Amino acid sequence: AAFFGPVARGNPVVDSFETELRRVLSALRRLRGAGEAKPPQHDLHRHGLLAMPLFKLSFVAWIEIKPRLPEWYYNERLVKVGDTLVQIKEYKLALLQCYDRYLQQLVSVNLDDVMDDVQGFKSAFFPNGVRDKNAALTLHALQARNICIYQMVCSRDRNLQAQESLQTCLNALTSLRLTMQVALPQENLCWLIYNGTIHIYTICRHLMVMGQSAKVLEYLLWASICMESSIPLLSVHYLTWRATLYTAVSQCYFDCQAGVHGEIFARRGLIKIDELKRLEDISSSLERTETEKIFREATLKMSVMIFKRAVYECRRKSNSSRRESKVNPRKAANLSWPRTPTERLLVAMFDGAAAQLLAILEALADRSRNLLPPHPPVPEEIQIRDVTSELFSAGLEILSGNSLKKQKQENIFVITAGEKGVSGEAAVKFVKLAFSYEEWNVFYSALEFVDSFLQAQDDPTWKKAELELKLLTLMQPVVFPGKFDRSFSMSVDGNNKEGSTRRGSGKTQTIRSECCSESLKLGNPFRDLMNLATTAFSYVSTFEQNVHPDKEILVDVVMCLWQKCKTELQQIQMSGSHCLEYIHKHQAYQWVHILWIMNEIIVKSNIADTNVMFAEITLCLAAILENVADY
């Protein structure tokens, strides 16, 4: 290339090289687009089989052209192409053909073997020191390599069920921390520190959802301290992200049942934010309104984490022997907001409905609590149960808009994102929490406000939320048979013909499902089970993939059905060659029908690998069908 002049556009060697790269990357983008349009596993597998040889052929030419290009140009393009492949989610290609290829030029041993200590790491990758001109490129390639490894783990084991998958993620976090430790003393590498905190946060949040908060706490703490230790990252521009990291650390402490440390760290975060605010008041380079918004959001995040513990602890520490009576829902309209100690603390700490509801959601959130089975809190102190009830009562008051009216704010409550309203996402989460805590009065009352909002939306996100809440209303009579008579009108196609009414209004409400058998009458023991099964089946069969209920809820639905039907289905299975006689004698056709529906839901929603129990469901159906065939 040097023979033809400067290594830049117009150089025939460079132009030929760049043309070949653009051709291959364009082909990969088309393959990726086709794969996303057809999400089933066999299509994605076929996409991978096509992509890998195509890129390998390109790299044969790339290897041939390497001696004809300057080393610096070749290495920069190698890493840059890897970044492009990551953007189009070709993580395996980016790892093997770009980042590893570049890094293996620096070390001849296994890359993972030099990640044990910082000195060995430095001597292997930075023999000329971190100030070397290639140091930034090498650190970037190392960080990107870890992200590719993490994404590849997620593609084959999203729930990290294998211990090997979990350990690979932890190794990636350790490697990321090592790259940041090397880059931290160099201010010109602050962008690598910032990127590293994003990568660590991404992996840690996933592991926290999987119940691994204790193992990721140290990495989130490291990311937070790095943001404080890098002078360029201490500016207001990065404060929102720093507050997000502080919040994640506090949440980790709460997940580890160390709430006192979570509150202490949140208060420490408030102090750091206040220190920056005082400096900013002296000299501000941003618009005043912009900086005020940034500080307000950061302060809110910290205040929410403080409220998460304080709302319970202040009641524990109360020396008053007299318990304040709970709010009677019928008299709530005549009471002045705030009505309870919990509501008074909300008003004292937060301005506006959105912030208050966010604080309520965080105070009620508990990673150890699943949506199913629903159960009330079981604290040792009765005062804590009262706080939980008061939180739900306050949340319902906010959703109804009464709190805004009583605070004499200008706008009436609407479930939209904004300064004086709460987001639809937060409202949906509140309804799900009410279901999980068995706060049935709150659940149905809040569902009315939220359901009317969801039905008016056309966006797939809201349609998905609507389907999920409808499934919850159908699951309740299955989980608590005969205990509740509250239900909502619905149709399987998602178009509600009848509006919901308030509890005690005297209007009769029924759950309708067009897929249900007409032979199912009121009082039939299969009615609620069949309503739930056929409705869930219709949702995964008739709606687009982006509207399907979350897999977690579908897993709960199938497991709920299986637990209710398991005993009877196993009796049918054990009847062996007399299977048909047993089914006819005990009128058990509908049990088999529900079993078939469960299996169809598992297949159509791609949840077969999320629970080992699903294999038992499929085997049970296969055994019954074989017995029928052999009859």
Question: Once rounded to an integer, what is the mean pLDDT over residues 257-273?
Answer: 95
pLDDT at 347 over 90: yes
Which of the four pLDDT bands, split at 50, 70 and 90, describes residue 27? confident
Q: Using one digit for the tens of pLDDT, what is the confidence trace for 413-434?
A: 444 444 456 788 899 999 999 9
Residue type, 412: I
Question: Once rounded to an integer, what is the mean pLDDT over residues 144-150?
Answer: 96
pLDDT score for 495? 44
**Which of 34-48, 103-117, 372-386, 603-617 is the least confident region?**
34-48
pLDDT score for 570? 77
Domain end (from 438, 457, 476): 457
Q: Using one digit for the tens of pLDDT, what is the confidence trace for 170-228?
A: 999 999 999 999 999 999 999 999 999 999 999 999 999 999 999 999 999 999 999 99
pLDDT at 525 over 80: no
Q: Using one digit for the tens of pLDDT, what is the confidence trace for 366-395?
A: 887 877 777 777 666 677 888 999 999 999
Domain end (from 405, 432, 457): 457
Residue 437 lies in a domain: yes
Peptide bond connecting 40 to the previous residue in cis, omega within 30 degrees of 0: no
pLDDT score for 58? 53
Residue type, 205: R
pLDDT at 328 over 60: no
Residue 361 lies in a domain: yes
Q: Using one digit for the tens of pLDDT, what is the confidence trace for 482-512?
A: 655 554 544 444 444 343 333 333 333 333 3
Domain carrying residue 620: 525-630
Q: Are residues 431 and 533 in the same domain?
A: no
Q: What are phi and psi of 604, to 5 degrees?
A: -70, -25
Instruction: Pick the closest to residue 15 from 86, 84, 73, 80 (CA basis).
Output: 73
Q: Using one digit for the tens of pLDDT, what is the confidence trace for 80-91?
A: 989 999 998 989
Question: Once rounded to an integer, what is the mean pLDDT over residues 124-135?
Answer: 88
Residue 47 lies in a domain: no
pLDDT score for 65? 67
Q: How many domains does the chain have?
A: 2
Domain end (from 407, 429, 457): 457
Q: Are residues 342 and 450 in the same domain?
A: yes
Question: Once rounded to an integer, what is the mean pLDDT over residues 143-151?
Answer: 96
Which of the four pLDDT bands, split at 50, 70 and 90, describes residue 478? confident
Instruction: Pick the closest to residue 607 from 551, 525, 566 (CA basis).
Output: 551
Q: Are residues 449 and 349 in the same domain?
A: yes
pLDDT score for 372? 76
d(CA 597, CA 537): 7
Which of the four pLDDT bands, split at 50, 70 and 90, describes residue 70? confident
pLDDT at 41 over 70: no
Which of the four pLDDT bands, split at 50, 70 and 90, describes residue 5? very low
Residue 53 lies in a domain: no
pLDDT score for 187? 92
Residue 420 lies in a domain: yes
Residue 506 lies in a domain: no
Question: HEC states along 26-67?
Answer: HHHHHHHHHHHHCCCHHHHHHHHHHHHHHHHHHHHHHHHHHH
Rounded to the nearest 10 degrees, the angle between the axes of helix 382-400 and helix 341-349 is 60
The per-residue pLDDT of the chain, averaged, comes to 80
Question: Once rounded to an integer, what is the mean pLDDT over residues 518-537?
Answer: 70
The answer to whether 269 touches 243, Cβ cutoff 8 Å, is yes
Residue 146 lies in a domain: no
Q: Are residues 441 and 549 in the same domain?
A: no
Output the CA–CA distances (angstroms, integers) from residue 521 to 312, 527, 595, in the order listed: 47, 7, 20
pLDDT score for 380? 62
Looking at per-residue pLDDT, the higher value among 13 and 591 belongs to: 591
| DSSP label of 418 | B
Q: Which structure tokens are listed for 154?
A: 């997620």
Which of the four pLDDT bands, split at 50, 70 and 90, describes residue 461? confident
